[in-house]
Structure 1
Amino acid sequence: MALQERDTPCFSKKMLACPLRGHWTSFQLVDEQGDGKPYGGLHYTVMDSIGQEYSGRLDGEGFAKVENHYRGPVVLSMDKRYSGLDKQYENLIKRDYYPLPITELQYRAEQTRFFHEDGFRREHNPAIKDADVFVQVEVRDLVRDGAHLPPVVQRFYQPQSTLLRAMSELGFGPEHSFGIALSPNQHNVLEVRPMRALRPLLSTDDKFCALNLYQLALMATLSYTDFAQDPREKPLDKVRFPEDPSIGNLFGEALASYRENWRIDKSQSQRFYPLYEDVPYSKRLEILPFDPTLYEQNHQDKGKDQEHPANQHFFDDQEDGGDTQAFICHHDEGILISVRGTASLKDALRDVHALQVPFEEGVGSVHQGFYSAFQAMKAFVLRYLDKFHTGQKVIICGHSLGGAIALLLAEALRRFPDEDYNILLYTYGAPRAGDSTFVEGATDLVHHRMVNHNDPVPGVPAPWMDANWKVWVPGLVTTVFSGLYGMLLFGAGLVRVGGDPYQHHGQQQHFMPVRFNDKEWSSILWDPDCESIDDAACTAMLEKTRRGDMPARDGLLAQLINYTDHMMVASYIPFAWATLRRWQQAQETGATIVTDREYRVIEYALATLREKLYEYARQARHNEGPDGATTKEKAAMDALYGEQDRLERTQKRLQTVRNRRLTLADVYGSAARLPEFTGSVERWAKHAENQSPVQYAMIPRQLDDGFLLAREPLDIDSIS
């Protein structure tokens, strides 16, 4: 039949169509269990082939029927904004920076759950039996603005996107930029994918726990990867994060899509899964949306001031002549900041530029190289906190150089005027960053400082250092290649001239592997409070170098060259994993954290170390000249006696640790109180890697024979 003149604007001249009414379409929204109740009462809009709109609300079972519409497919959309009473969603919708266009549909989808624990699509929904047409949809299919929503996951029952596209291309009714095409005169069932996400399970308690030890070791290591946004700069309409591993991929795609990523380093071969918490999508660690139509600051015409996820979450000052790198993201309970350690020559030059400069944000003096790196990223962090800090815990972590920068950042934020940032700091293999005045002034900063085995980096800068890298670097290089001359120059370049001595800040946790025989190992984590265990080799080397007497063993130099214990993937992450497994087992069985067998081995080693110290003191007195000890020699002896006193305290600490029994809070902190806690731990435990026995996680048998403490943990020989 021919079209009447009034109908011609609604239809394409490419095809004949009939605008007759009298057709119907029914539809139902269900979750992955086949239940429509989660979507009951939602507002919907349906548009038919000539642009006629029909709106209403789904019934209590998520069902609706549109009757007497014009012939042809109809398009369903559900774009009504959320207007409920949940404060968190209200804050996201009304926040000043990047307010989110959250819809009623998104809110409801965030309250549903996956049928499969791993979030994999369900293939056979029971609601299929009642459907003429069954499709699997995402929230982004039905709403106008989707830049803040997760990527689409592969589906078994595709929506009729080709039909929707054909309707627009043929001019069959108005153009549709979003929505789902429904088949007319049929019952359409739409399975809506739950909007759940994963986020790393963390404790916000100040008290040290094994969970944070492990989780933040992974996050500190992730800071060595790129943000890997595509396109990296000047994005036009959208961004992606395809590279795995990368910061952007983990937070922007994997966890947003409910995928348990384990790779956080390109060289990584062993799988170390974080413990993930199942949360509503809006509670994930957020990567900001990129949508130039919604956010003016995303427009490409902003030039160098254009904002996009990479320059909001990722800091890299290469263009400004530096090489400091860090990332920051947040959710409703925490803000996570991770600072990268040494990864380039520029970083190394900052490491050794140990002249002391005033810490302008607080008190005392700090390492100039670390301070310049902190100053480079300070504005970036403050800008982010100004936008998104709403009282959350600020959790900061870093490895090596990154740990030193993280310490300065944490103390600066703690002292920041007119703010009350609640800071929690975990560092791994961090060198000393400030003098005694700085450390005393930062007493109230909560800082858990990890030292692995015989890691050399926590031993520098030693209390006597105030080094100029122009002397330090040539000395070290020459040491490696030419022996005695380089050693002398190396020692001379490290001598501090004036100023207070460098000191460590924070509560130390020292990882000590224990060898019983060639096949049996165990490990403990504790705070020995003994510099001989940490860095006595540094002091011994310098004192002997000043007298022109080379150490019998290479001491610090051997530590500097053999740096495996300083690496995250090779050492710190395995030790953190082993500690978590060890503490889990001890808590579950009610066992003590140190067995009697381990206690005897370590007690013997401490006794041996004490004898070494006394022997060294006797030798020093024997070498005194006829006029008695010089001022420097007296100072060295005082330090030696102080170390002997600390060794006595270490012995008492060992006795305390021997009898310690762990609670759930010791292992998991505040995370043990979360609703999803049990599920998070069970999900992690199901991975084969977390079930297989590994020697460092072994609790040793209670035997009386064949035990021996590895020499390396206490580094006894380096001070002989």
Structure 2
Amino acid sequence: MAIFPSIDSDERSTFQSNILSCPSKEQWISFQLVDENGNGAPYAGLCYKLMDSTLVQYVGVLDSKGSAKIHDCYKGPAILYFDSLHSALEQPYRHLADRYFYPLPITELQVRAEKTQFFHKDGFRTEHNPANKNDGNFIQVEVRDLVKNGAHLPPVVDRHYPPKKVLLDAVAQLSPGQDASDLYGVGLMPNRHTVLEVRPLRAFRPLLSTANEFSALNLYQLSIMAGLSYSDFGQKPPVRPTHTVEFKFNPSVGNFFGDALANFRQSWRVEKDQSSVTRYYPLYEEVPYSKRFEILPFDPTLYEMNLPEKEEEQEHPANLHFFTDHNKYWLSGKSTQAYITHHDEIILIGIRGTLEKSDWWRDADAVQVPFEEGTGHVHHGFYDAYKALKKFIQKYLLQFFTGQKIVITGHSLGGAIALILAEALRNDKEQQYDILLYTYGAPRAGDAAFVEAARPLVHHRMVNNDDVVPSVPAPWMNARRTIWLPGLASLFVINPVMAILIFVGGLVRVGGKPYEHHGTLHHFMPVRFGAEEKSSILWNPGCASIEEAACTRALAKDGDLPWRGGLIQQFMSFGDHSLAGSYIPFSWATLRRWQQTEKDSQTVVTNREYRLVSEALQTMRKQVLNKSREAADTKGYANNEPDYIQTVNDYSGEYGKLGTALQRLKSQNDRYLTLKDVYGTAAQSDQLQPTLDRWMAQRENQVQVQIAMIPQLTGYDLEVASAGKPYFLDLDSIV
């Protein structure tokens, strides 16, 4: 229908016949903004702008029902938009709008939408059309549909009643000189009422505790976040973007934070090789979109640093949130990978462990070098990896640190790098960073001086059963060749029927400052009661007989290097080091165990477990005492030769530590858990119960398991555990 009528006959003497008269104002447009429950109250009082086909603007305020009606518009479709910035700017909106780096154009519409809720708990779009009853139009819109700048907003999800872009094109065609690409908003038909259902701006984020104390929640959540570090960022295009970026590849860091969680989708796949048979979902809390873990916007029209003309200096989400130096060092084989993101309370950093042959270079470089950011010496290869990503982390913190808790996680090699990074940040002279570190299967990274100086750093260190990697670099590395007593590495198998532990007399580095472990050990120990029944306990044994069993079994009785033939059997059980196959399942099992024990008012270690394990520890203690006596009954000891004296002292020390382990086991047998033990600071969150309800609705978490039972491995995981897979192999374990 033409909106410009022909010139009337009485006017033709004044105007040429091909000239049109002014457009007629013979139509009305009405509309209503509602949430997914059909309620318009959340949008009451919101300022709107409507532009008709002649580019005339109509400005007004929605009534108490979120409605408005404009009379005497010019004929043709009109465009509705909401570009009023949020004026009150309460936190966190004020900080987001005013920050120096990537300030966000937060509109009042966005704030209103963040305060609405989904009709369906899973966030899927509604299918009803409330406008049918009054012969109106019904469209489902996103906030980004109605505002000019939407790069910081979530991608559009599938909807049943999308807005018609053809209406925007029609306005452009009817307006001389108007480019359709310059128009934004939603097109409305004239002389009809339109209901616009605005999708809530809600997001998921992994629920975390900010307390320094250990919690089963963080144990599980951060094992998954460590697993995410093995994935690429997944941005398209990956480099030199021009207008927009997407994160469609799943799994990827970008898809996880920038697409799935931003769009209220629960994501479980963090590594491409994960089996779909057993899925491990993080516990997600629902938050307003602005409180999600942020993936920064890309908009060259708003941010000069996004301009493609910047070439190598161009900033975009992939190089702001993701670090990899694989291409830089492809000739040498070096490779480091990490990601970083944040919200108003937490900055999260995940660092990748050994994934491929390119990581072996750094794993193998066990020479000690001075730790320039603090005290002591550290593993050269791990320190080299830290220095590779140092500027990347520093730049991000400079831009977005506002006093948040810095939570760092890493597996294997990634755990060692994470420790060095955490201690370097703790020693920062200009900032007082509050750091919490969780590592999984991490090797030693520093010497005794480094570990002592880093004692104030809060570090929870997880070791799974007989994982060999935490036993390296051994304390005897980077030292002069040690003289060992014949038979020092004799193998003791304690109570093979129980099949709980294997103990080997320890080899100890002589002289200098040895490599040492940092942090509070949390050792995951399977306990078998018979051929079928098993459980598992997480505790701190405090003795080398348990923690160092894997390494000491591999040592020859002469020399200071592992016996490579002995390592073959360790590789056959290398599944203990796998993140997806072992650490994430054991973390899940511990969380489920702690949830059950807290709910049922049981102790962390049951009486049955205590009796079994304490008997094994007492047997081990007797064996250590016997070996100590044998070592003392030698000519070398009688002649006060240093190596013999050291051996007896080592056995005596281990005898005492096994006594400590018995005491710690007894304390676990007497310990009852609180909600704070299980969930840390999240125990006080009003989102805890909805989060648990959502998590327990997943079929994997509904399985009724024996308390502390380890989940059954999938076929893929069994294959990895039995034969090993190259990218699970840390070369430093055979150096």
Q: How does 1:469-484 map to 2 (within 5 A)?
A: none
Contact preservation (8 Å) 1:353, 1:467: no
Q: Displacement, 1:370?
A: 0.7
Percent same amino acid among aligned pairs? 55
Q: Distance in 2 between matches of 1:641 and 1:354?
A: 29
Aligned residue in 1 for 2:715: none
Residues 129, 665 of structure 1: alpha-carbon distance in 2 compared, 3 angstrom cutoff: farther
Contact preservation (8 Å) 2:468, 2:551: no
User: CA deviation digits over 1:332-381, x for unaligned, max 9?
Assistant: 00000000001122321211211111111011111111111111111110
Of 28, 32, 39, which aligns to 2:32? 28
Aligned residue in 1 for 2:484: none
Task: Determine if the alignment matches structure 1 residue 538 to structure 2 residue 544.
Answer: no
Contact preservation (8 Å) 1:538, 1:555: no
SS in structure 1 of the partner of residue 359 of structure 2? helix
Q: Which amino acid aligns with 1:647?
A: L
User: CA deviation digits over 1:231-261, x for unaligned, max 9?
Assistant: 1111111111111111011011000110101
User: CA deviation digits over 1:299-348, x for unaligned, max 9?
Assistant: 11101001010000001012332301000000000000000001122321
| Higher fraction of helix | 1
Residues 342, 17 of structure 1: alpha-carbon distance in 2 compared, 3 angstrom cutoff: farther
Aligned residue in 1 for 2:94: 90
Aligned residue in 2 for 1:122: 126
Residues 129, 613 of structure 1: alpha-carbon distance in 2 compared, 3 angstrom cutoff: farther
User: CA deviation digits over 1:650-709, x for unaligned, max 9?
Assistant: 00000000011110010000112122111111100111100113467349xxxxxxxxxx
Q: Displacement, 1:628?
A: 3.8
Contact preservation (8 Å) 1:44, 1:57: yes
SS in structure 1 of the partner of residue 548 of structure 2? helix
Residues 70, 170 of structure 1: alpha-carbon distance in 2 compared, 3 angstrom cutoff: closer
Q: Distance in 2 between matches of 1:104 and 1:267?
A: 43
Q: Distance in 1 between matches of 2:201 and 2:260?
A: 13
Residues 620, 537 of structure 1: alpha-carbon distance in 2 compared, 3 angstrom cutoff: farther
Of 426, 438, 447, which aligns to 2:459? 447
Residues 120, 14 of structure 1: alpha-carbon distance in 2 compared, 3 angstrom cutoff: farther
Q: How does 1:108-507 map to 2 (within 5 A)?
A: 108-124=112-128, 126=130, 129-130=133-134, 132-169=136-173, 171=175, 174-176=178-180, 177-269=183-275, 270-321=278-329, 322-466=334-478, 499-507=512-520
Task: Determine if the alignment matches structure 1 residue 518 to structure 2 residue 518.
Answer: no
Structure 1 window deviating more from structure 2 (158-167 vs 556-565): it is: 556-565
SS in structure 2 of the partner of residue 432 of structure 1? coil
Q: Displacement, 1:170?
A: 5.4
Residues 649, 626 of structure 1: alpha-carbon distance in 2 compared, 3 angstrom cutoff: closer
Q: Displacement, 1:601?
A: 1.1
Contact preservation (8 Å) 1:229, 1:241: yes
Q: Distance in 1 between matches of 2:461 and 2:637?
A: 44
Structure 1 window deviating more from structure 2 (115-124 vs 172-181): it is: 172-181
User: CA deviation digits over 1:530-549, x for unaligned, max 9?
Assistant: 1110114534654712399x
Q: Distance in 2 between matches of 1:628 and 1:554?
A: 35
Q: Which amino acid aligns with 1:517?
A: G
Q: Scaled by the length of structure 1, what TM-score is found?
A: 0.88
Q: Distance in 2 between matches of 1:512 and 1:141?
A: 54
Contact preservation (8 Å) 1:286, 1:330: yes
Aligned residue in 1 for 2:540: 527
User: CA deviation digits over 1:593-649, x for unaligned, max 9?
Assistant: 111111111111112221332233244345555964631222122112111111000
Q: Distance in 2 between matches of 1:657 and 1:422?
A: 29
Contact preservation (8 Å) 1:538, 1:556: no
Contact preservation (8 Å) 1:467, 1:495: no
Aligned residue in 2 for 1:674: 685
Q: Distance in 2 between matches of 1:3 and 1:44?
A: 34
Q: Which amino acid aligns with 2:378?
A: V
Structure 1 window deviating more from structure 2 (21-30 vs 130-139): it is: 130-139
Structure 1 window deviating more from structure 2 (624-633 vs 301-310): it is: 624-633
User: CA deviation digits over 1:9-64, x for unaligned, max 9?
Assistant: xxxx9999982113111110000011000001111000111111100110111011
Q: Which amino acid aligns with 2:208?
A: L
Q: Distance in 1 between matches of 2:323 and 2:97?
A: 27
Aligned residue in 1 for 2:599: 588
Q: Displacement, 1:164?
A: 2.0
Q: Which amino acid aligns with 1:363?
A: T
SS in structure 1 of the partner of residue 92 of structure 2? helix
Aligned residue in 2 for 1:647: 658
Residues 556, 503 of structure 1: alpha-carbon distance in 2 compared, 3 angstrom cutoff: farther
Aligned residues: 666
Contact preservation (8 Å) 1:452, 1:510: yes
Q: Distance in 2 between matches of 1:564 and 1:98?
A: 43
Task: Determine if the alignment matches structure 1 residue 691 to structure 2 residue 702.
Answer: yes
Aligned residue in 2 for 1:472: none
Q: Distance in 1 between matches of 2:19 and 2:391?
A: 60
Of 42, 45, 51, which aligns to 1:38? 42
Contact preservation (8 Å) 1:34, 1:127: no
| Uncovered stretches (5+) of structure 2, i.e. residues with no partner | 12-16, 481-506, 711-735
Aligned residue in 1 for 2:570: 559
Q: Which amino acid aligns with 2:670?
A: N
Q: Which amino acid aligns with 1:264?
A: V
Q: Which amino acid aligns with 2:233?
A: F
Aligned residue in 2 for 1:491: none
SS in structure 1 of the partner of residue 261 of structure 2? helix
Contact preservation (8 Å) 2:412, 2:440: yes
SS in structure 2 of the partner of residue 654 of structure 1? helix
Residues 179, 556 of structure 1: alpha-carbon distance in 2 compared, 3 angstrom cutoff: same
Residues 214, 14 of structure 1: alpha-carbon distance in 2 compared, 3 angstrom cutoff: farther
User: CA deviation digits over 1:502-539, x for unaligned, max 9?
Assistant: 11100010111111122211111111111110114534
Aligned residue in 2 for 1:716: none
- What is the alpha-carbon root mean square deviation over aligned residues? 2.6
Contact preservation (8 Å) 1:93, 1:99: yes
Residues 158, 618 of structure 1: alpha-carbon distance in 2 compared, 3 angstrom cutoff: same
